């Protein structure tokens, strides 16, 4: 059979790059970037190019699995698995109520837009609110800060039009996440630099993106709140703020000014191990703008005070007036999202925490980031009757990803029913009662909506233009396989349990104001096709899905195109520009949330940390373990793709060469890394781009203590070093997952 080439969407990660897939004998054989894609311009990374290996991997599950009494897995037909799981959930709910059932959607619920709505729809039909997502152990501070600061309904400035951009602990050139649009960020960054963008990066590691920085601050980890408070101090002291904007739209300026009055650059610099002038320079450069935005990533969100860091960043953006005004163009009027109805006004603050369901095992409730996933192990291990007994993992891997790995393993083992929708028998699915084998991305239709929709959650995220792509399924699953889509699993459970399945659209938090989507019920008698499900999910989109389907390489559905005769979506003026505020609107953005200012005051009063210049001082020296991403893995996925790892299947413990020398270590040495909670083995590797006193390691490696001897094969679990009961955020429950004190010695 001849080779055919199809344009499609890469869904190895959330970035949704436009790709070309070559198919031979019904199998994907080669993936390259699609040069005809108008937003990604042919970009792919090594992971995307290995999609064929992922689909054909010998360890891929082609049949669902059931674990027997002896712990061994045997294949089970997916229909039979759903029969048994539905019956089991029914029994447990009858005995203990629906609250005994929890859902944990993780990384691989993202690539398939129908998954989460169906999973959450199932939970609501069952009557359980126990939905925990990976967002609560990712950047929960973003959700909390957006809520308590309030939302600007006209949207933020976007990267492609900005004069200054500040990245605090994120590395979008590798992660495709955070501030620089996911569509070919390195091309966008180069073009922005060429037209004069000033870039500020704050990170203990001189990252790939930091190499492009005009101003790079390399602080100790965990000092972002102090640095940002000092930047606010400078902006206020030097009058660099947008007073007209503040007068009209902001509450709490005076209280904020008082709160940062003694957060001087000298104080913050002493905490962070910087030169005070670096902080002054960053504040001045950022405030000069006139257009731009400051965003943070996972690093500072995983270090303590993540809510405060995100809150101070919003305050900085607000003081500098970095929001779209009446009459300004809306850069992304929407494609798969409903049309923009941008308005130049605030929507006042809402509570960031303390609503709805709370845990039984710990005094933690629901926050704007959802239920506290970092405490889900406790809720399963809890001895009370109201514990969680059933967990459904939707494209997620608690043993790899949750803080305190040993506790996560104990929790997985205690569950009465653990079901994983996962193509692999891995760290968590290997402990499951049932593993449902899913179709992989090239076997299902897809949409670029997660990359577009992230605008609804985070400021300065998403696409800077109305780009969208649809892909049909490119190949059928391998012959003989019995694999299903995640949403079909939940539909199957609901059908068996006599429950309706209603899908609810995403709630907007941060982006421009947009039109609504309607909830809809799936037909329970006749299962819809995935295309029908996707069409229903995209109700209210600015560009009809059928129109998007007419552009297989993806398209930017801009005004020019919309103006063509016969085009079914209109360049209506109300979608193209930010409307003036409603007369009489009194909502204000809040820059003086009392809880946040109290938290800042606590930091201001705290003693200076001991580790400062050069080498760590204590004996034995105390290092800060920080989080990071590696280019050739996506959380716990990709480690088994040989062509991607090229022999390095572990996660090195990166250290500054001078620190290696000080510890008497060489590249490749086995080391023991100990926190106050636990210890792991690691393999040292020199990284001159790190600040001294830092050890930088990727997460989601190391598959549990019984595999500790396979250090070079599996790497090691940084999650095991984390104590989920220590230094945790009182609202979201996220514990200290970066900036963790550790000691290091040769193993």
Ligand X SMILES: Nc1nc2c(c(=O)[nH]1)N[C@H]1C(S)=C(S)[C@@H](COP(=O)(O)OP(=O)(O)OC[C@H]3O[C@@H](n4cnc5c(=O)[nH]c(N)nc54)[C@H](O)[C@@H]3O)O[C@H]1N2
Q: What is the binding site for ligand SF4 (CB under 6 A)?
A: 10, 12-13, 15-17, 44-45, 47-48, 176
Does 221 bind ligand X (CB under 6 A)? Our answer is: yes
Per-residue binder mask for ligand X (CB under 6 A), 716-745, x = binder: --xx--x--------------xxx------
Whole-number minimum distance, CB 658 to ligand X, in Å? Answer: 18
Residue among 8, 3, 4 at smallest CA distance from 445: 8
CB nearer ligand SF4, residue 31 or residue 123: 31
Residues between 540 and 559 that touch ligand X (CB under 6 A) = none
Residues between 600 and 629 that touch ligand X (CB under 6 A) = 626-629
* Token duo for residue 286: 């950022």
- Pick one of ligand X, Mo ion, ligand SF4, none as the site partner of residue 732 (Cβ within 5 to 8 A by kind): none
Tally of residues, the chain: 747
Whole-number minimum distance, CB 629 to ligand SF4, in Å? Answer: 11
Sign of the alpha-carbon dihedral angle for 686, 270, 674, 729 = negative
- Pick one of ligand X, ligand SF4, Mo ion, none as the site partner of residue 673 (Cβ within 5 to 8 A by kind): none
Burial profile 19-57: b = 16 or more Cβ within 10 angstroms, e = fewer: bbbbbeeeebeebebbeebbbbbbbbbebbbbbbbbbeb
462 in the Ramachandran plot: left (φ > 0), alpha (ψ -120 to 50) or beta? left
The residue behind tokens 């090195």 is 652
What is the SS3 assignment for 701? coil
Q: Is the peptide bond before 290 cis (omega within 30 degrees of 0)?
A: yes
Whole-number minimum distance, CB 355 to Mo ion, in Å? Answer: 24
- Binding test (CB under 6 A) with ligand X, winner from 300, 462, 464, 735: 300
CB nearer Mo ion, residue 110 or residue 365: 110
CB nearer ligand X, residue 19 or residue 578: 19
CB nearer ligand SF4, residue 212 or residue 634: 634
Whole-number minimum distance, CB 204 to ligand X, in Å? Answer: 6
Contact 521, 505 (CB under 8 A): no
Q: What is the DSSP string of 642-654?
A: HHHHTT--S--EE
- Binding test (CB under 5 A) with Mo ion, winner from 54, 86, 122, 138: 138
- Pick one of ligand SF4, ligand X, Mo ion, none as the site partner of residue 629 (Cβ within 5 to 8 A by kind): ligand X
Residue among 526, 421, 534, 525 at smallest CA distance from 473: 534
Contact 95, 110 (CB under 8 A): no
- Pick one of ligand SF4, Mo ion, ligand X, none as the site partner of residue 136 (Cβ within 5 to 8 A by kind): none
Longest dimension (CA), the chain: 75
- Pick one of Mo ion, ligand SF4, ligand X, none as the site partner of residue 272 (Cβ within 5 to 8 A by kind): none
* Number of alpha helices (DSSP H) and beta strands (DSSP E) in the chain: 27, 31
CB nearer ligand SF4, residue 19 or residue 653: 19
CB nearer Mo ion, residue 138 or residue 590: 138
Does 205 bind ligand X (CB under 6 A)? Our answer is: yes
- Pick one of ligand SF4, Mo ion, ligand X, none as the site partner of residue 462 (Cβ within 5 to 8 A by kind): none
Sign of the alpha-carbon dihedral angle for 83, 85, 86, 92 = positive
Q: How far apart are CA 670 and CA 679, in angstroms?
A: 13
Does 300 bind Mo ion (CB under 5 A)? Our answer is: no
Question: Which residue number has the CB closest to ligand SF4?
Answer: 48
- Binding test (CB under 6 A) with ligand X, winner from 9, 136, 144, 174: 174
Say which residues have a Cβ less than 8 Å from residue 80's Cβ, sequence separation at least 6.
none
Q: What is the DSSP string of 264-305?
A: -HHHHHHHHT--HHHHHHHHHHHHH-SSEEEEE-HHHHHSS-
* Token duo for residue 465: 């233009």
Cα of first residue to Cα of last residue in the chain, in angstroms, is 55
- Binding test (CB under 6 A) with ligand X, winner from 20, 137, 246, 442: 137
Does 107 bind ligand X (CB under 6 A)? Our answer is: yes
CB nearer ligand SF4, residue 13 or residue 734: 13
CB nearer ligand X, residue 212 or residue 634: 634
Does 106 bind ligand X (CB under 6 A)? Our answer is: yes
Say which residues have a Cβ less than 8 Å from residue 152's Cβ, sequence separation at least 6.
249, 318, 323, 324, 345, 346, 347, 589
Q: How far apart are CA 638 and CA 147, in angstroms?
A: 35
- Pick one of ligand SF4, ligand X, Mo ion, none as the site partner of residue 400 (Cβ within 5 to 8 A by kind): ligand X
- Pick one of ligand SF4, ligand X, Mo ion, none as the site partner of residue 78 (Cβ within 5 to 8 A by kind): none
Q: How far apart are CA 274 and CA 283, in angstroms?
A: 14
- Pick one of ligand SF4, Mo ion, ligand X, none as the site partner of residue 16 (Cβ within 5 to 8 A by kind): ligand SF4
CB nearer Mo ion, residue 183 or residue 301: 301
Whole-number minimum distance, CB 134 to Mo ion, in Å? Answer: 6
- Binding test (CB under 6 A) with ligand X, winner from 192, 213, 633, 644: 633
Whole-number minimum distance, CB 429 to Mo ion, in Å? Answer: 19
CA distances from 350 to 139, 346, 368, 461, 474 (A): 18, 12, 9, 21, 44
Q: How far apart are CA 543 and CA 186, in angstroms?
A: 28
DSSP state of 690: B
- Pick one of ligand X, Mo ion, ligand SF4, none as the site partner of residue 174 (Cβ within 5 to 8 A by kind): ligand X
Does 302 bind Mo ion (CB under 5 A)? Our answer is: no
Catalogue the E-assigned strands of 603-716: 623-626, 653-655, 670-674, 679-686, 694-696
- Pick one of Mo ion, ligand SF4, ligand X, none as the site partner of residue 522 (Cβ within 5 to 8 A by kind): none
- Binding test (CB under 6 A) with ligand X, winner from 273, 306, 426, 682: 426
Binding segment toward Mo ion, per CB under 5 A, in 110-118, 132-140, 230-238, 522-530: 132-140
Q: How far apart are CA 530 and CA 402, in angstroms?
A: 31
Q: How far apart are CA 75 and CA 61, in angstroms?
A: 9
- Count the residues of the shown chain that bind Mo ion, applying the rule CB under 5 A: 1
Sign of the alpha-carbon dihedral angle for 725, 730, 731, 735 = negative
Residues between 657 and 686 that touch ligand X (CB under 6 A) = none
The residue behind tokens 């190949």 is 475
Q: What is the DSSP string of 319-349?
A: HTT-BPPTT-B-S---SSSPPB--BSSEE--
CB nearer ligand SF4, residue 5 or residue 243: 5
Does 699 bind ligand X (CB under 6 A)? Our answer is: yes
Q: Is the peptide bond before 620 cis (omega within 30 degrees of 0)?
A: yes
* Token duo for residue 371: 């239920």
- Binding test (CB under 6 A) with ligand X, winner from 162, 317, 367, 396: 396
Whole-number minimum distance, CB 174 to ligand SF4, in Å? Answer: 9
Whole-number minimum distance, CB 427 to ligand X, in Å? Answer: 7
Does 631 bind ligand X (CB under 6 A)? Our answer is: yes
- Count the residues of the shown chain that bind ligand X, applying the rule CB under 6 A: 66
Binding segment toward ligand X, per CB under 6 A, in 133-141, 241-249, 451-459, 573-581: 133-141
CB nearer ligand SF4, residue 47 or residue 205: 47
The residue behind tokens 């959802």 is 370
Contact 49, 34 (CB under 8 A): no
Whole-number minimum distance, CB 14 to ligand SF4, in Å? Answer: 7
The residue behind tokens 């103006």 is 563
Does 134 bind ligand X (CB under 6 A)? Our answer is: yes
The residue behind tokens 């494209």 is 395
CB nearer ligand SF4, residue 120 or residue 442: 442
Which residues bind to ligand X, rule: CB under 6 A?
13, 106-108, 134, 137-138, 168-172, 174-178, 202-205, 207, 221-222, 224, 297-300, 302-303, 395-398, 400-401, 421-424, 426, 438, 440-441, 486, 626-631, 633-637, 696, 699-700, 718-719, 722, 737-739
Which residues bind to Mo ion, rule: CB under 5 A?
138
């Amino acid at each position: 059979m001849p080779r055919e080439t199809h344009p499609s969407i890469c869904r190895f990660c959330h970035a949704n790059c436009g790709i070309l897939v070559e198919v031979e004998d019904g199998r994907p054989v080669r993936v390259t970037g699609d040069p005809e894609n108008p937003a990604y311009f042919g970009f792919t990374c090594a992971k995307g190019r290995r999609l064929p290996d992922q689909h054909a991997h010998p360890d891929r599950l082609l049949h669902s699995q059931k674990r027997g009494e002896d712990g061994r897995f045997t294949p089970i037909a997916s229909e039979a698995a759903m029969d048994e799981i539905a019956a089991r959930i029914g029994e447990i709910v009858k005995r203990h109520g629906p609250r005994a059932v929890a859902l944990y959607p993780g990384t691989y619920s993202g690539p398939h837009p129908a998954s989460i709505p169906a999973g959450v729809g199932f939970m609501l039909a069952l009557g359980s609110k126990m939905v925990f997502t990976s967002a609560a152990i990712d950047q929960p501070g973003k959700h909390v800060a957006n809520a308590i600061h309030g939302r600007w309904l006209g949207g933020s400035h976007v990267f492609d039009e900005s004069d200054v951009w500040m990245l605090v602990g994120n590395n979008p050139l590798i992660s495709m996440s955070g501030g620089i649009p996911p569509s070919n960020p390195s091309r966008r960054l180069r073009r922005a630099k060429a037209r004069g963008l000033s870039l500020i990066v704050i990170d203990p590691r001189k990252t790939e993106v930091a190499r492009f920085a005009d101003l790079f601050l390399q602080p100790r980890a965990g000092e972002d709140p102090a640095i940002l408070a000092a930047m606010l101090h400078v902006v206020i002291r030097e009058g660099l703020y947008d007073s007209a904007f503040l007068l009209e739209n902001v509450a709490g300026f005076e209280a904020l000014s008082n709160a940062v009055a003694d957060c001087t650059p000298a104080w913050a610099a002493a905490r962070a191990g910087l030169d005070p002038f670096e902080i002054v320079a960053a504040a001045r450069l950022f405030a000069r703008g006139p257009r731009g935005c400051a965003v943070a990533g996972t690093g500072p969100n995983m270090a303590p005070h993540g809510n405060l860091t995100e809150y101070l960043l919003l305050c900085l953006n607000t003081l500098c007036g970095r929001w779209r005004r009446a009459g300004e163009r809306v850069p992304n009027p929407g494609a798969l999202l409903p049309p923009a109805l941008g308005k130049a006004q605030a929507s006042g603050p809402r509570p960031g925490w303390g609503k709805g369901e709370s845990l039984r095992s710990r005094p933690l409730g629901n926050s704007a980031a959802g239920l506290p996933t970092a405490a889900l192990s406790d809720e399963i291990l809890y001895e009370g009757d109201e514990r969680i007994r059933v967990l459904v993992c939707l494209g997620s891997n608690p043993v790899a990803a949750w803080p305190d790995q040993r506790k996560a393993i104990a929790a997985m083992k205690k569950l009465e029913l653990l079901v994983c929708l996962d193509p692999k028998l891995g760290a968590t699915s290997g402990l499951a009662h049932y593993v449902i084998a899913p179709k992989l991305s090239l076997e299902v239709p897809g949409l670029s909506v997660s990359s577009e929709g992230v605008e609804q959650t985070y400021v300065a995220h998403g696409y800077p233009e109305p780009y969208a792509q649809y892909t049909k399924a490119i190949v059928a699953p391998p012959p003989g396989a019995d694999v299903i889509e995640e949403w079909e699993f939940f539909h199957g459970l609901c059908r068996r349990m006599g429950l309706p399945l209603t899908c609810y659209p995403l709630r907007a938090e941060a982006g421009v104001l947009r039109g609504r989507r309607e909830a809809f019920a799936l037909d329970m008698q006749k299962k819809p096709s995935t295309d029908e499900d996707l069409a229903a999910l995209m109700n209210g989109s600015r560009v009809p899905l059928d129109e998007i389907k007419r552009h297989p390489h993806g398209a930017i559905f801009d005004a020019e195109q919309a103006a063509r005769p016969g085009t079914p979506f209109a360049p209506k003026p109300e979608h193209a520009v930010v409307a003036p505020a409603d007369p009489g609107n009194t909502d204000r953005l809040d820059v003086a949330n009392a809880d946040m200012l109290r938290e800042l005051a606590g930091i201001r009063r705290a003693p200076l940390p001991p580790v400062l210049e050069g080498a760590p001082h204590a004996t034995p020296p105390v290092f800060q373990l920080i989080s990071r991403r590696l280019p050739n893995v996506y959380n716990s996925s990709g480690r088994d793709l040989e062509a991607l790892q090229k022999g390095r299947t572990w996660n090195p413990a990166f250290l500054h060469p001078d620190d290696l020398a000080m510890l008497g270590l060489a590249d490749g040495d086995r080391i023991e890394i100990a926190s106050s909670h636990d210890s792991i083995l690691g393999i040292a590797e020199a990284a001159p781009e790190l600040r001294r006193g830092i050890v930088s390691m990727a997460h989601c490696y190391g598959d549990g203590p019984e595999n500790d001897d396979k250090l070079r094969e599996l790497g090691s679990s940084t999650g095991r070093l984390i104590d989920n009961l220590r230094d945790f955020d009182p609202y979201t429950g996220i514990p200290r997952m970066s900036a963790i004190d550790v000691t290091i010695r040769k193993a």
